[in-house]
Amino acid sequence: MTEEPAFPPSDHPEEPARPTGDRDLGLSWGLVVFVLASLFIVVFIVQNSDAVPVKFLNWEGQFPLSLIMVVIALLAVIGDEVVGVMRRRRRRRQLAEREELERFRRT
């Protein structure tokens, strides 16, 4: 007489153990950094809401200092991303040309 196992064998392997740490709370470091950065930006905007004169080419007007600084920061980030994309494309093209040249030399 043989004894049957207490639990029948499963068709599915055991699930891996859940990682410990910040994942248990449903929070991620990215979310925490985003919330803190947003809070700092809101405080900055509230503290720097005074209008300042702005002259650019033929345009002239009064705008809140915080708006001007946030717009300039966003333009800088966009410019950086555009330059980065251009550099990556050029580098990929150079690598592809180099690989094609190596294949040509081998044949």
| Chain-centre distance for alpha carbon 40 | 18
pLDDT tens-digit series, residues 52-95: 998 989 989 999 988 888 889 899 999 999 999 999 999 999 99
Predicted TM-score of the model (pTM): 0.53
Burial of 67 (0-12, 13-18, 19+ CB in 10 A): middle
Please state, in angstroms and as integers, the Cα–Cα distance from residue 102 to each residue in 30, 73, 88, 97, 98, following that order: 42, 43, 21, 9, 6
